[in-house]
Amino acid sequence: MSSKNVQALYAKSIQAAGSEDVLLSQMPVEDVMAIDPLLGLAVGRLRENKVIRKPGYDGEYGVIRVFEDNEVDRLRGQNELFARAPANSLARAFGKPTTMKTVRKKGVKAAELFKTPVKKKNDMPASVDLETLNTEQTEIAGTYDCPVAVTAGPGTGKTRTLALWLAGLVRSGKAKPDQILAVTFTNKAAEELASRLKILLGGGSAEITVQTFHSLAFQIITTWYPRVKSIYDASGRNSIIRYIFPENTQGAIRALADKIEAFLDGTLDPVEPEIEAAALKYQDMLESIHGIDVAALCSEANLIFESRREVLDYYRNKYKALAVDEFQDINKTQYEFLSLLADPSGRALPSILVIGDPDQAVYGFRGSDPGLFKKFVADYKAREKMLSSNYRSSGTICMASGDVIGHNQTSAGMNLTPVRQTGPLVSVFHAPDEYKEAEQIAKTIRALVGGTDLIESGGIYTGDGNGSSPYSFGDIAVLARTHRSAEHIIEGFVEHGIPVSVRQASSPFTQPPYSAIADIFRFLANRQDIVAYRNIVARLIPELEALQLDALFVALASSGGLVEHITQHRAVQETLSEGERGRVETLHRFLEFIEAEVETQGVYKGLFLILEKLHERIGADLEAKLLEEMLLETARAHGTNLQGFIRSLFLEQHETVGMPNAERVSVLTFHAAKGLEFPVVFIAAAEEGISPQARTDTDLEEERRLFYVAMTRAGERLFISHAASRDLYGRTEAASPSRFIDEIRTVLRTTFHMPKRRKKFNQPSLF
DNA sequence: CGTTGAATCTGGCGA
DNA sequence: AGATTCAACG
Ligand SMILES: Nc1ncnc2c1ncn2[C@@H]1O[C@H](COP(=O)(O)OP(=O)(O)OP(=O)(O)O)[C@@H](O)[C@H]1O
């Protein structure tokens, strides 16, 4: 079936159903069957969630594996099918039609994807116990009359205690929910805390402010200065800096951008006059387009507090209680923000609880200063507390991680007493290369969830001997130091049919080649944002040169964001040929079309059309497609709320959610894993040069803390793997095992080697 | 002027 | 490897 046919068919089906949503979610399956049996089958299976959404590593767009092997071929065009048909009005859109790169590889055996068992033990319902505290925890959770600073190791119930401290405020009537503020450093932590509070307090918890420093600051800024509309992250920052200082080389731009970032965040030390000057120029530009840089959010909020007494008083009166988790990650500016909200010398100090673990300080690169913990204790005359019982990890994992962190000179050396018993040894696995590493992890996961692969491959885990498979995909996480090494794992999982969930840091949609998406939404929401406009044109009509872009830029600036007459502007007439102006006008029509679609059909529709447009020019690799799916989901959730979507785009991490309830293995960076826990953890790419990194400015102790964070996420089983060689920029580099592995005493680990790489040879089954 | 091939570069974590 | 930028060529 050719894709044209599929498009036509799909269009026909939508027509019959009334809308694509109706088709996908409401129309009786039999009716869809009547239009086309194959489509009916697909829709039916989609609805039953019997679907593994397989990211298109083979060059297809968002392939959804709904069919068995023999069926797949019949649906060759399913990519377009699920990507929906293109809007006719755009068929001959601007730009020269470029052929989309299509790579087709043989797909995995679809049948494999279906034999994966679903859910096992972690069906812990609402009855999950969040209330029980030990004596030390209880004491902390009940202290409201004096600031408290808690230092405690991983798994000691810090977050649990903090949640109950917050809940206690409400239950005891000491504070109303809307008088309570809990600040976190990551969105994940905020979500986690909010969901715990919901369980503890029910609906009333919604009134409690649980936010990251950044999103809180953004909210404060936009409340009092509604003029600010566009958010610029590292990627947007780079493009503006490149525009302002065009004479700089790539490397110089990056160095400058890094320093400007630190300056904006108030953590540049010492402040270099040239950097300050450059940063101010940059901020002028942002100011003029009604934008703000993420790095400047906290500093700007502080400025508002300092310059507008009534604003500060408003927040001081509002919050009667304040809690900060992961306090070791705080930086100078955030500390100032905090002390502005809760004046340590003031008369009416709110209840304050801060909790942290110096051994888990891993944000040195963005200016966090663990010394601020001591400063807090001194400034607030806080009562210091400790927790020492680890409830999360087996005795083995506690000891092993203790061995590693013990190598840090600056380790607090806190004693950690495991509550849980000794467990299986830490499994260390040597693979010949990163592909084999991924494969082995995939096989081990299969074995853990009930497969038999590992018996065949003579591998690491052969079950608990009782034939039961105690784990589900959702119990398992693979952690990696860098996104790059995580990607290899994801690819391997896709190939081996392991359902995977990926959590990205800052939105990939603010970076090329997707930055056009971010810019389009920015521009639609903020017509003053001519930088966004320039980026859109540069990305979508790449043939235009800098001078021509400048002409458009100037023209738009002088027209106050009105796009219509730009091409008549003198500067544009002079620098662009008639054909080029025509293409720009087509682009304008496209933007207006998107705007209308967003208003009437929602952000989802707009985003979908943009992605489609983008794919006329660029192909999409594995990760891209996974991400597109995910972003479309996010967009759908925001309906027609453009502002909400933008905020989420720039300030939140994005996770592939895909099919609801689908059990997935989490693949995360060490940083992203902080605060989470999994019964089974794999640490991948434990190699010198990766973990620890080997750069001139690498802080070895921070690298070790990161590794420690990764290890301590595990409850029962910890696997550490490394590859002897790894492809890097086309070169194959030899790599030796991470020193952190050796730091674990030998009796706590077992080591496995993989046979040397055999080309294209499949191990025959032994049984 | 537009196309093509060669040279260059890729640097981490997150809001 | 793969994307992007640059130089030489038609
Ligand atoms: N008193 C307790 N009784 C039973 N379980 C507990 C208790 N305290 C904590 N736990 C459990 O221990 C685990 C770790 O708790 P929590 O996530 O609060 O630790 P944490 O100190 O914040 O860890 P980390 O710093 O590593 O993120 C959780 O599964 C929690 O439910």
Strands across the sheet with A351-356, in order? A209-212, A180-184, A321-324, A351-356, A148-152, A383-387
Q: What is the pLDDT of residue A79?
A: 27
According to DSSP, the β-strands at A731-734 and A714-728 are antiparallel
Report ipTM for this prediction: 0.92
Express each pLDDT in A46-71 by its tens digit.
443 222 222 221 111 122 223 222 22
DSSP output for A599-633: HHH-HHHHHHHHHHHHTTT----HHHHHHHHHHHH
Range from A110-119, A169-178, A227-236, A415-424 that averages highest in pLDDT: A169-178
Distance CA A525, CA A643 (A): 7
Using alpha carbons, select from A460, A443, A459 the residue that is nearest to residue A451: A443
Distance CA A606, CA A594 (A): 5
Task: Give the whole-number percent of chain A exceeding pLDDT 70.
Answer: 73
Distance CA A513, CA A500 (A): 24
Which atom of ligand 1 is least distant from the CA of A391?
Answer: 12
Q: What is the pLDDT of residue A56?
A: 20
The values of phi and psi at residue A732, to 5°, are -100, 115
Q: What is the pTM of this model?
A: 0.73
- Domains A128-223+304-387 and A395-506+658-753 agree in fold: yes
Which residues, judged by CB distance below 6 Å to any ligand atom, belong to the binding site of ligand 1? Answer: A 132-134, 137, 152, 154-160, 357, 360, 391-392, 675, 677, 712
Nearest CA to ligand 1 atom 1: A133
Q: Is the CB of A619 under 7 A from strand C?
A: yes
Cα end-to-end distance, chain A, whole Å: 40
Band of pLDDT at residue A530, cut at 50, 70 and 90: confident
Assign 3-class secondary structure to A435-479.
HHHHHHHHHHHHHHCCCCHHHHHCCCCCCCCCCCCCCCHHHEEEE
Rg, Å, chain A Cα set:
27
For the beta carbon of residue A415, count every other beta carbon within 10 angstroms.
9
Nearest CA to ligand 1 atom 5: A391
The lowest-confidence range among A423-427, A434-438, A526-530 is: A526-530
**What is the average pLDDT across A280-285?**
88
The two structure tokens encoding residue A180? 């309570």
**Strand B nucleotides in reach of protein CB atoms, 7 A cut-off:** 9-15
**What is the average pLDDT across A321-343?**
95
According to DSSP, the β-strands at A52-53 and A64-65 are antiparallel
Indicate the DSSP class of residue A389.
Answer: E
Which nucleotide has the least CA–C1' distance to A187? B15
The domain ranges of chain A are 1-115, 128-223+304-387, 230-289, 395-506+658-753, 509-650
Higher pLDDT among residues A85 and A650, named by residue:
A650
DSSP output for A658-693: -STT---EEEEEHHHHTT--EEEEEE---BTBBTTB
Q: Which CATH number is A128-223+304-387's, of 1.20.1090.10, 1.10.8.10, 3.50.50.60, 3.40.50.300?
A: 3.40.50.300
The two structure tokens encoding residue A164? 């109950």
The values of phi and psi at residue A655, to 5°, are -120, 140
Does residue A660 carry a pLDDT above 80?
Answer: no
Contact A345, A373 (CB under 8 A): no
For the beta carbon of residue A255, count every other beta carbon within 10 angstroms.
13
Distance A735 CA to C1 C1' (A): 19
Q: Which CATH number is A395-506+658-753's, of 3.40.718.10, 1.25.40.10, 3.40.50.20, 3.40.50.300?
A: 3.40.50.300
